[in-house]
């Protein structure tokens, strides 16, 4: 239980504890681990703003998930899917007997596959099959009837079974320019040639250390490379993440199964316009497919 009239300490602890689970949910709702982190950040901002007037919150987990769910819906609307989204928000009537439907299929479905489902089916499958919420908890989060939730869950599972039987589409490939650019960055970074990388920064470059801080301007962002120069727990590999170029950062002395984290670069006119570093958001790797080039 949380009391909106109390200090923010309880809310802050809840947000830290729940952030990985919120990310798993938002990622599967919007179909991207990176966009999912944006949605989580928006949801947590909304929670902080709403907390003082929220009064007594009997189910803090459900309250926070409800905010995240609404933030995810808003993100989908911003993608100009409003017509399709709103038409899919009506939960259907009673579901047929769900015997034989496989609850495990949602837990193993890819982000792209889950994104095919209408929003009610997707949210039901993710909450129950992926995150393990009970029917009552999912009903509370989504604000629908148990019958409507069961119907959406059943139809979502059945659709995922159909999709699982279809052949996979070939993965997109990087252009030669993208491949060369990300490899050159990794090579210079690993050689600690940070002056060369600083020279590539645009004047208005933006840096986001996800879940930690944001900086802007080449002078401020230059310190980013200084911090890495002080450490030895990294080695960059040119990679693909969510069908785009990425730097996969691994600890050379770490365990073999360590997933590491990713850094995403944006370029404008041959200059680095933005750096998004997920060092302090390791939970993102739970939902992100990364493969070296």
106 and 60 in a common domain: yes
Q: Residue 56: its pLDDT value, please?
A: 84
Q: Does the residue 261 lie in any domain?
A: yes
Domain boundary among 164, 198, 225: 164
Q: Does the residue 195 lie in any domain?
A: yes
Q: Residue 170: its pLDDT value, please?
A: 66
Confidence of residue 5 (pLDDT cuts 50, 70, 90): low
Average pLDDT, the chain: 88
Q: For 44, what's the count of Cα atoms within 13 Å in the CB-facing half-sphere?
A: 22
- Reported as a single tens digit per residue, the pLDDT across 85-96 is 544 555 655 555
Q: Residue 192: its pLDDT value, please?
A: 96
Q: Residue 9: its pLDDT value, please?
A: 76
200 and 249 in a common domain: yes
Q: Residue 100: its pLDDT value, please?
A: 44
**In CATH, what number is assigned to the domain containing residue 239?**
3.10.450.50
**In CATH, what number is assigned to the domain containing residue 8?**
1.20.140.160
Q: Residue 55: its pLDDT value, please?
A: 80
* Rounded percentage of the chain residues whose pLDDT exceeds 90: 70
Q: Residue 7: its pLDDT value, please?
A: 61
Domain boundary among 113, 137, 164: 164
143 and 45 in a common domain: yes
For residue 62, pLDDT beyond 50:
yes
183 and 125 in a common domain: no
For residue 73, pLDDT beyond 80:
yes
Q: Residue 211: its pLDDT value, please?
A: 93
Confidence of residue 173 (pLDDT cuts 50, 70, 90): confident
Q: Residue 165: its pLDDT value, please?
A: 81
Q: Residue 86: its pLDDT value, please?
A: 47
Looking at the structure of the chain, the number of domains it has is: 2
Domain boundary among 132, 164, 196: 164
Name the least confident of 83-87, 199-203, 213-217: 83-87
21 and 156 in a common domain: yes
Q: Does the residue 189 lie in any domain?
A: yes
For residue 104, pLDDT beyond 90:
no
13 and 143 in a common domain: yes
Domain with 48 in it: 2-164
194-206 average pLDDT score: 97
134-151 average pLDDT score: 94
222 and 135 in a common domain: no
Q: How far apart are CA 217 and CA 219, in angstroms?
A: 6
184 and 82 in a common domain: no
Q: Residue 95: its pLDDT value, please?
A: 55
184 and 158 in a common domain: no
Model pTM score = 0.86
30 and 157 in a common domain: yes
For residue 97, pLDDT beyond 60:
no
243 and 187 in a common domain: yes
Q: Does the residue 134 lie in any domain?
A: yes
């Amino acid at each position: 239980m949380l009391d909106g009239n109390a200090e923010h300490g309880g809310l802050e602890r809840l947000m830290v504890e729940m952030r990985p689970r919120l990310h798993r949910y938002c990622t599967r709702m919007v179909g991207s681990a990176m966009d999912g982190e944006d949605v989580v950040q928006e949801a947590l901002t909304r929670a902080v703003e709403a907390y003082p007037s929220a009064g007594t919150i009997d189910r803090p987990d459900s309250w926070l998930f409800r905010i995240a769910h609404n933030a995810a819906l808003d993100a989908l609307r911003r993608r100009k899917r409003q017509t399709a989204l709103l038409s899919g928000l009506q939960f259907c009537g009673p579901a047929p007997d769900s015997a034989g439907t496989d609850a495990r299929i949602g837990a193993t479905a890819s982000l792209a596959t889950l994104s095919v489902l209408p929003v009610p089916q997707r949210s039901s499958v993710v909450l129950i099959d992926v995150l393990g919420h009970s029917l009552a908890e999912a009903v509370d989060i989504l604000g629908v009837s148990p019958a409507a939730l069961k119907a959406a869950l059943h139809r979502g599972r059945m659709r995922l079974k159909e999709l699982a039987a279809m052949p996979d589409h070939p993965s997109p490939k990087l252009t030669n320019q993208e491949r060369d650019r990300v490899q050159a960055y990794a090579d210079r970074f690993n050689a600690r040639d940070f002056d060369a990388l600083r020279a590539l920064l645009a004047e208005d470059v933006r840096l986001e250390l996800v879940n930690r801080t944001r900086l802007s301007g080449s002078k401020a962002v230059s310190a980013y490379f200084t911090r890495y120069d002080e450490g030895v727990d990294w080695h960059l590999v040119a990679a693909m993440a969510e069908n785009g170029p990425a730097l996969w950062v691994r600890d050379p002395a770490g365990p073999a199964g360590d997933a590491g984290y990713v850094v995403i670069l944006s370029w404008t006119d041959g200059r680095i316009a933005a750096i998004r570093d997920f060092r302090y958001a390791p939970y993102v790797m739970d939902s992100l497919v990364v493969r070296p080039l």
